Structure formats: structure tokens, C-alpha cells
A and B are shown apart, each in its own frame.
Chain A
Amino acid sequence: MASSMIGRATAPGMGKDEPILETAAAVARAAGDPVLAVRDLEVGYRAARGRVQAVRRVSFDLKKGESLALIGESGSGKTTLGLALVRLLPPSASVTHGDIIFFTSKGDEIDITELDNDALRRFRWSECAMVFQSALNALNPVMRIEDHFRDTFKAHKNQENGLDERKVLERARECLRFVQLDPDRVLKAFPHQLSGGMRQRVMIGLSLLLRPHVLILDEPTTALDVLTQRSIIEVLRRLKHELQFAMIFVSHDLSLAAELADRVATMYAGRIVEIGGVDEMFYHPRHPYTIGLLRAAPTLIGAREDLVSIPGSPPDLIDLPTGCKFHPRCPYATEKCSAQDPPLIDVAPGQAAACWHWERVAADWEAGKVYEGTADTI
């Protein structure tokens, strides 16, 4: 990646809007040791029609051993945010503002937006690893699994992780066993000889190779069958409980967030519009978009409840609406919403929402009221 594209702009307000002042303490200082702090991050893509504002002013902390789910629909910026955290953005994208600070295991702070290529290579995989959406595309089809492990080691080794060439395969076996794969069968295999679920587990095993302490997973269970999905969930659960991994997983699937996350962040049009503990987010949501997602998700247990869709469609990221980006689809929208983008403000301990009318939203939710105007029920 050329350095010009990742040079940080310090001037605020690079976007079209006036800068948003985040006042929420909840966004930032989550109790405990942070392993990652993101501040005012902005990422944009160059496109023929103009600039795509994929991530806008995102701030959050991730603490040790915590798992954070980024949920949202396609185009909400969640994958771009994940890629930006390990600086894997495509050439057409650039970080235009903000800091991404990792607190390493030795207690150093590194701002990864400022790392040079060498430092970046050492940082990736040994501090933070990423598991991509499609395991089939992420593995090289003409390389055996053991060579993937060797290559990863060669590319990202550093002095500190105490692994030498001869021990790589030993470590690879450990990693594979942890994700419940038989190393004897898998190491010599080519990716096409493994099933989708096995490939996904290989990816997770590979990410453990250099003992990172942060893991970023992009849609880890999408496109997998139910029972396979369950086995991946169990692996991630063990990573969290036995190895105290900090994880960020990006997903459109609310049930995965309910299952694995300690905290959940809802993204809409590139911003975190609500963030909070998993129980607060599911049982006491304060942003109309989070509520919209919850009401649209079918559940299996119990009788059939009415599902309500969110009217309208996601915004054009090149030509965003003024004010709150959700206002054209929001039942609570007023004139204020179309004029000013609301900041994330504390709505409860550890929970923040970006909505001018969160108190009304809260009162309606707790009273079990749905806005009739938007109900598309049957």
C-alpha cells in the first residue's frame, strides 16, 4: 500500500458533514485493559461517481478477552472497518482520519496507521490476525495446508514469538488440534480436499499460528451449513474462554452476535449508531435501526411472531442523506434529524446510541409499542 494513501489527515471534518462530537464515554473507555482503541476513524473509497464514505467517525475500545460483534447490512461499512484495522484495505481505499492503536502484549502502543511495511508485517499475525469471509478463496488452491502454515510463518515471523523453522509444523499441529481437526489428515491435504467447514477451521487454526491476541473474523459462519456453523461457533467459544482471545467479528447475522458477543455495535452507513453489552442491545435497544434489525430477525423458539421490515433501502454511500443517515427510513424522524447528525451519547451504563429521540424510542420499546406506520406485517 502506498504511503500517500494512508497518510493521516489531521484536519477534522473531511466528510461533507460538520464533524460529529462524540460525547459518549461508553464508546471509549470500556472497563479493563484495552487491547485496541479506535478513535475517529474515517475510511473512504474512490469511485467513478465520487467518494464512497464507507467508515465515518468510528470510535471504540476492545478490551482483553472481549468479543465485539459489528452487525449491520451489506454496505454498512463493517467489512471495511475490519480490513482497516489490519490495514488490508484495497488500493482504492484510504484512511482519511483517525487512529487505530493496538496495545501489544509487551505493553507498547502502536498506531497501525503509522507503521512502515516491515513493522506492519511483523504486527500482522503475531499481534492481530484476520479470518476472511470465504475460506475457499483465502487459501491457495495449489498449496498444501502445511505450506500455508510455513509461508505464514516465514512472512510474519519475528524474534519475539520464539518459534523457529523446525517447530512450525509442531505448532501447526497444535493449532489444528485446537480447532478439532486431525493434523495427520489435514496438513498434507490441498484446500479442495477439505469441506467448507474444515477449510474455515483451517483458517482459524492458521490465524493462531503466531499466537496473536486479537482476532478479526469477517462473517465466520456465513455460507456454512447449520451443523458446521455450530462446530465453528464452538471453536470460537473455546478460543475466547480458554485462550482469552479478544475478537471482533463482523456479521449480518444477529443470532451469531447473540451467541458469541460480549458487546455489540450496530453499524449503519459507515457509523456505529449504537453500541453496548449484548443483553442491553437485544433487550433494551435504543436506536431505531437496532430495533428494526431485531424485529426483522425470525426466531425459531416459540410461536410465530410478526416480522416487521425496515422500510426503504440502505442509503447511497456516495450521496448520503443529510443529518442522521437513517432518517429517511426512520419512524421517529423529525426535522432535526434531517438537519443534524446525532452524536453517540450515553443512554445507559456501557451503552451509547446516536439518536436524537432515543428517550422516546426507549419508552416505546419498553412499553412494547411498534410504530404502526412502518409495520409491514401480514
Chain B
Amino acid sequence: MKGQPIQFEHVGRLYGSGKQTVRAVDDVSFMIEPGHTLCLVGESGCGKSTTGRMVAGLIRPSEGRVLYGGQDVSTLSKTEARHYRRAVQIIHQDPYASLNPTRSVAQILTDPLLHHKMVASRVALGNRLEELLQIVGLTPPADFLRKYPHQLSGGQRQRVSVARALTVGPEFIVADEPVSSVDVSLRVSLLNMLLKLQRDQGVTFLFITHDLAVAKHFAWDGRIGVMYLGRMVELAPTPQLIGDPVHPYARALIAALPEADPQVTRNKERLRLRSAEIPSLLNLPRGCTFHPRCPLYEEGLCDQERPAEDVVDLDGHLAACFVMARELGQEQRLPLALRQARREEPAAV
């Protein structure tokens, strides 16, 4: 299945009003090519789910544009919008909450098939239901069709959510923490099932997780974007981001994560943050929002302007950090004022 690329152009999303306004997503840009994977990681409140919901068209951006196949999603005609909503599906975190408890698996899957007129006959419907359950590994299908969500385990429920997303033959799936509520042993088979989906059907994924290790496993051939307080602070191909992170926040996350290997985890180098407190979205620090916690903080450089998402650009490995841009020989990418400020300093000494 060949789909359309989805692109974010300086997208922002505000919640609340007046003094109580928070910018949950702030000037985020990225592009996801058909068949590829982008994984968003970050701590709670970093805006990753809001970004996912904007991709899925569940909420509209307050600033910037979301482009689908090069066209602004908000200007799509009625038919085009219908097509977009069908092409992009979302799998929610909690399958308890996202499946209607009073409807059987068969009903849950039949509704969207009929609504979008995906099947022509009763026989075709039956076949399609079986096929969907086969794909998500709920076999034999006949055992599951009449079951209700409460009769299924967490992992099975999540598989039903995936099957529901697949009913309409999506080209793009937004998976918001799809394995967080599932036990370790079942988590892997769910992840592998989603990977197989991508391999066999070329589905594009925006995968949202707080777990870097899961992100690494799922998006090894794709990219990971690290978000912090609504901003994308680093975006890079997975092996580079895990192996050679640039942004101090990404480095702190990777260093802080305990590993399931006693020797590795004992010998891991930790990164000391200057503060453990996460600033409130209502009262964000000036300049780089990570600066009050950042071990690389430099007065006059970090607390002035907000670093653009691509201040550091090493062949598509992007990071929003002025200090690292300078360290990595990309000073010319700094805003003019900051560049001069730096240049004057050694002269004065």
C-alpha cells in the first residue's frame, strides 16, 4: 500500500484560555514518508499524545499546518477529509477504555466496515472479520468473534483495537502507547505483530511511547523524536539517537534508564542534572526550556532565544541545542545575535 506523506509545519497546539493557556505543542515540524516509522518519546506532559491526536485529525492545530500529501488538512474537501480520516487510524493506550464494553468483538469490527462500505455482502463481511482476526493473531477467529471485551485479556483487547484500526485499510497508524498496559511477555508479541503489519502491508507508523527501549525495538529502521515540554528537542535515525545522542535532555534520558543487565546498568555513566524539577507549562523558562536543568547551560546563550528544532543538523540528525551546535562546529547555524555574543567574549579576555 502506497500512501501519502504526512508533514507538520511549525505546528502548535494551545489548551485553555487567557492566563491559563498552555502550549502543549510548540512549533513542531517533521515529515513522515509512507512506509516509514517515527517514534515520539518523552515524559508525561511533553506533548507527544497531543501531536499524535493532531496527526490522526482528532484535534486541530492552533498554529502551523498539518499537510497530507502536500495539502493542508484543514482545507480538504468533504470527500478528501473522509478519505483522510479513513487513511489515518489511531490505536489508543487503554483498550479497556477504547472498546465499548457492551459490544462483541464481531460488532466492534463490523460497524466501521459497514459505515465505510468496505464490504459488499454478508459473506464478504464474514471473510473480512476472519482475516482481520488472523492478522492480529487472535486465532482461531471463531473463538473470539462472540466475545465481549471483558472476556479478553489486556493483550487480546489491544489486538482487537488494532484489528478495528485495520478494518478500513489504513495507510497510516498512530499508535499511542499501545503496549504500556500489557505484560512483558505479551508486549513483545504485540510489538512484533505491529512490525509485521508494517513489513507485509507497508503501513506507516507514528508510534508514541515513554519507553525508549520499546522505541528502539520498534523504530530501529525508522526515526525517534524526543519531545520536552511541547518541543521537539532531537530527531534522528534510531541507531544514531540511541548510540550517539546530541541534545543533553536526550542524553540524560538515555543515561537515566536502568537496563535489564546488572553489569551494564552498574557501569552506565549518569548525567547529573542541575535540577530535578520539571517547569510548569504555565510558566516556561525563557530561551531553551531545558536550561534550568541542563548540565551544559551557559548564561547569555541558553536563556535568550528558543533554539530551533534544527540548530544542529548532522545529515538529518537534528537537535535543538545552541551549545552543542557550537561544539559540533555548526556555529554558523546559531542566530546572529548569539553568534556575536560568543565571538566578543574571547576578545574581551
A and B are interacting partners? yes
Interface residues of A (CB under 8 A from B): 73-74, 180, 195, 197, 225-231, 233, 252-256, 258-259, 278-279, 282-283, 292-294, 296-301, 303-304, 307-310, 313-314, 376-378
Q: Tell me the complex Cα distance, A197–B45, Å.
A: 14
Chain A residues with CB under 8 A of B273: 227
Q: Tell me the complex Cα distance, A56–B187, Å.
A: 26
Residue of B nearest to A303 (CB): B239
Q: For B260, give its contact among A195, A292, A294, A314 (CB under 8 Å).
A: A294
Do B214 and A227 touch (CB < 8 A)? no
- Which of B8-16, B128-136, B261-269, B329-337 participates in binding chain A? B261-269
Question: Which of B155, B216, B220, B239 has the most chain A CB atoms closer than 10 A to its own CB?
Answer: B216
Residue of A nearest to B214 (CB): A298
Chain A residues with CB under 8 A of B268: 301
Do A226 and B257 touch (CB < 8 A)? yes
Residue of A nearest to B253 (CB): A226
Nearest chain B CB to A299's CB is how many angstroms away?
Answer: 5
Chain A residues with CB under 8 A of B242: 300
Do A73 and B184 touch (CB < 8 A)? yes
Q: How many A-B residue pairs have CB under 8 A?
A: 124
B212 within 8 Å of A (CB atoms): yes
Chain B residues with CB under 8 A of A304: 216-217, 220
Evaluate whether A225 and B184 lie within 8 angstroms (CB atoms) in the complex, with A254-B260, A300-B259 already known. Answer: no
Question: Which of A282, A297, A298 has the most chain B CB atoms closer than 10 A to its own CB?
Answer: A298
Q: For B217, give its contact among A180, A252, A253, A298 (CB under 8 Å).
A: A298
Interface size class of chain B, counting residues whose CB lies under 8 Å from the partner chain: 35 or more
Chain B residues with CB under 8 A of A377: 192
Question: Which of B44, B256, B268 has the most chain A CB atoms closer than 10 A to its own CB?
Answer: B256
Chain B residues with CB under 8 A of A310: 185-186
B101 within 8 Å of A (CB atoms): no
Chain B residues with CB under 8 A of A308: 188
Do B185 and A298 touch (CB < 8 A)? no
Do B192 and A229 touch (CB < 8 A)? no
Residue of A nearest to B239 (CB): A303
Q: Tell me the complex Cα distance, A59–B48, Å.
A: 45
Q: Which 3 A-B pairs have the closest CB atoms?
A: A310-B185, A225-B43, A309-B189
With A299-B259, A304-B217, A304-B220 already in contact, 10 other A-B pairs whose C-beta atoms are closer than 8 Å: A226-B210, A227-B252, A227-B273, A230-B270, A254-B184, A258-B261, A259-B262, A299-B261, A309-B185, A376-B189
Q: For B276, give its contact among A231, A233, A282, A297 (CB under 8 Å).
A: A231
Chain A residues with CB under 8 A of B43: 225-228
Do A258 and B256 touch (CB < 8 A)? no
Do B258 and A376 touch (CB < 8 A)? no
Chain A residues with CB under 8 A of B214: 298
Evaluate whether A376 and B187 lie within 8 angstroms (CB atoms) in the complex, with A294-B260, A299-B264 already known. Answer: no
Residue of A nearest to B187 (CB): A296
Q: Tell me the complex Cα distance, A229–B211, Å.
A: 12
Chain B residues with CB under 8 A of A253: 258
Chain A residues with CB under 8 A of B44: 225
Chain A residues with CB under 8 A of B258: 229-230, 233, 253, 255-256, 258-259
Nearest chain A CB to B19's CB is how many angstroms away?
Answer: 19
Chain B residues with CB under 8 A of A259: 258-259, 262, 265-266
Q: Tell me the complex Cα distance, A294–B265, Å.
A: 15
Evaluate whether A378 and B192 lie within 8 angstroms (CB atoms) in the complex, with A229-B256, A298-B213 already known. Answer: yes
30 A-B pairs, CB-CB below 8 angstroms? A73-B183, A73-B184, A180-B276, A195-B278, A225-B210, A226-B212, A252-B184, A254-B260, A256-B258, A258-B261, A282-B260, A283-B262, A292-B185, A293-B185, A297-B184, A298-B213, A298-B214, A298-B260, A299-B264, A300-B216, A300-B254, A301-B264, A304-B216, A304-B220, A307-B192, A309-B187, A309-B188, A309-B192, A378-B192, A378-B196
Q: Tell me the complex Cα distance, A362–B188, Å.
A: 23
Do B188 and A376 touch (CB < 8 A)? yes
Q: Tell me the complex Cα distance, A197–B214, Å.
A: 22
B195 within 8 Å of A (CB atoms): yes
Chain B residues with CB under 8 A of A296: 184-185, 187-188
